[in-house]
Amino acid sequence: MGRLLHSSFALLVFIAVALTLQSVQASDPELTKDFQVPAGINAADIDGTFFTSEALRNVTPNVASPFATVTTANLVAPAKAPFLAVDGLGVSMALLQFPPGTVNPPHTHPRGTELLFIIEGTLDVGLVDTTNKLFTNTLYKGDIFAFPKGLVHFQINKDKYKTVTALGGFSSSNAGLVRLPNTLFNTSTPISDKVLQISFGISGDVVKALRAQFA
C-alpha cells in the first residue's frame, strides 16, 4: 500500500512538473538581465530611442478594405523597424482601426493573451473556447476585453458612420497571428481542395470561390 501511494505521489509530481515546463515553454523566455541588447549593437550606445517605437504614430485606416486596419509594434513588426526593446519582456501592442462596417476576421494569437482597450466608438467582440462556447459582448469607450491565448476571436464595427479605434496589448513580444479564413483558403496554403470540401461539407466550386477571395 505504501509503495502504491509513493508511486501515485511520484506520478502526480511528474505531471505537475511536466505541466509547469509546458507552461514555461509556451511563454516568452524570462530575461536574467534588465533588457536584451540586440546582436551587433553596443550596449553603451543604447539611449532612450531604443525603448521608443513610432510604429503607431499618425496611422490612418484603409477605408477601402472590408477589414480592420491593424498596425503592430512588436519584435518582428513593422518589418522595417521592429520594436527590438520588447525582446524578452513578454509585451507588445497593436493599434486597431475599424472604419464603418469593417471586421477583424476570426483569428488566434498562439503565443499571447490579448487585452483590447476601446479608445473611441462601440465595438462588438466575440471569442470561442475549446468547448465551442461563444462569448460575445458590446464594448464602449473605456472598456477592456480579454482574449485568452490561442482562442479564436473576432471584432466587428456595426456602426454605419463612425470609426472605432482600439488598442491591443499582448502578453508576448511576438504573439503571432493566424487568420482562419486566409490561412485555410489562401491560394498559397498547401491544404488540398478535397480536404476543405470534406471538412466544411462544401463543393469544389465553393472552395475555388473562397480561394479567389483570399488570393
DSSP-derived secondary structure for 21-70: HHHHHTSPPPPSSSSPPPTT--GGG--GGGG---TTTT----TTSSB-EE
pLDDT digit string (tens) for 40-95? 999 999 999 999 999 999 999 999 999 999 999 999 999 989 999 999 999 999 99
The C-alpha cell that represents 102 in the structure block: 469593417
Which one has a higher pLDDT value, 160 or 190?
160
Q: Enumerate the β-bridge partners of residue 98.
A: 164
In whole numbers, what is the pLDDT of the chain averaged over residues?
89
Distant-in-sequence, close-in-space partners of 38: CB < 8 Å, separation ≥ 6: 84, 87
Characterize the bridge pairing of strands 164-170 and 92-98.
Answer: antiparallel
pLDDT in tens, 100-112: 999 999 999 999 9
Sign of CA dihedral 153, 68, 177, 186: positive
The domain spans of the chain are 43-176, 179-214
pLDDT of residue 26: 55
* pLDDT tens digits for range 113-123: 999 999 999 99
Provide the annotated binding site for oxalate. 104, 109, 114
The annotated binding site for Mn(2+) is made up of 107, 109, 114, 153
Query: What does pTM read for this prediction?
Result: 0.85
Superfamily of domain 43-176: Jelly Rolls (2.60.120.10)
Contact between 102 and 122 (Cβ < 8 Å): no
Binding residues: 104, 107, 109, 114, 153
- 37, three cell numbers: 541588447
Percentage of residues in the chain having pLDDT higher than 90: 80
